[in-house]
Each structure stands twice: as C-alpha cells, then as structure tokens.
Amino acid sequence: MTLVMRPLDRGNPQARLPLVVAADSRWPAGAVPIWISEATSMVYGWQQGQQVEIPLPELQGRQIHIAGIWRDYARQGGSIVMALDDAQGLGLALRLTDAAFWPEAEMSIGELTQGLKTVLTDYPWGA
C-alpha cells in the first residue's frame, strides 16, 4: 500500500481527489482524516467512517479516520491519502517521489517546463 501525502483541503477534498464516495467532513476531535482508494477498501474491507490503524511508528496511538474513498488508477495495490500538513505535524518523513500536474489549456511546453522547475525547486523538501 502507498501512503500519499499532498496539499489537501479537508473541507473540500474532492477538489484534488476523484471521490467515489461523498466526503465525510465529520470525524472525532483529534482524529487524523485519511482518504482511501477503492483498492484499499476492497482488499482490506475498510469503509468510510471507520477508525483504522496504520502500522507506522509516527501513527501509533493516533485515531485515523477514513473520511472518503477515491478512485486511484495508478496504484492497484491500494493507497491512502493524508493531508500534507497532517503528515508534517505527525513527523512523517517527507520525500518527493511522485508528481502530477494539470497544465493550462493554452500552456506551451516551455511554460510547462519552467513551471515544473519552479514548483519542484520551491517545494518544502526540494526536488
């Protein structure tokens, strides 16, 4: 399973994730919300609204709440998305290993290349 950490608006996760189950914005105080892929739901039987354990030292003893299910065609073994600021707050080791982008319709290859260089250079943990 892959843990994906990305900038995410907890109140509007569908802006960044193709949700297949409507977002649940109600989770227990102090719980860390995550969004799981359809594959994760099928393989592990996890469902929205459940509290789960994730076997990482930084998450031991933390309430982890499934706030939604999303469609992830890239990782067939299952994936979990956590908001980047939650991951940073929990002390998870951050390393950029994957990137996705949505170019503007009229963007040239040169503009796209420069934009990617700028974003990756300015990212919190570098390129």
Segment 18-48, tens digit of pLDDT: 999 776 778 888 899 999 999 999 999 999 9
Q: State mean pLDDT over 66-89.
A: 92
Q: Tell me: pLDDT of 59 over 80.
A: yes
Predicted pLDDT at 25? 75
Contact in structure between 108 and 115 (CB atoms under 8 Å): no
Task: Name the band, by pLDDT with cuts 50, 70 and 90, for residue 122.
Answer: low
Residue whose C-alpha is closest to residue 31's, from 5, 56, 65: 65
Q: Tell me: pLDDT of 53 over 80.
A: yes
**Ranges 3-17, 43-57, 97-111: which has the least confidence:** 97-111
Predicted pLDDT at 49? 92
SS (H, E, C) 57-105: HHHCCCCEEEEEEECCCCCCCCEEEEEHHHHHHCCCCCCCCCCCCCCCC
Which SS3 state, helix, strand or coil, does residue 112 take?
helix
pTM for the whole structure? 0.77
Q: Tell me: pLDDT of 86 over 80.
A: yes
Contact in structure between 67 and 34 (CB atoms under 8 Å): yes
H or E stretch covering 56: none
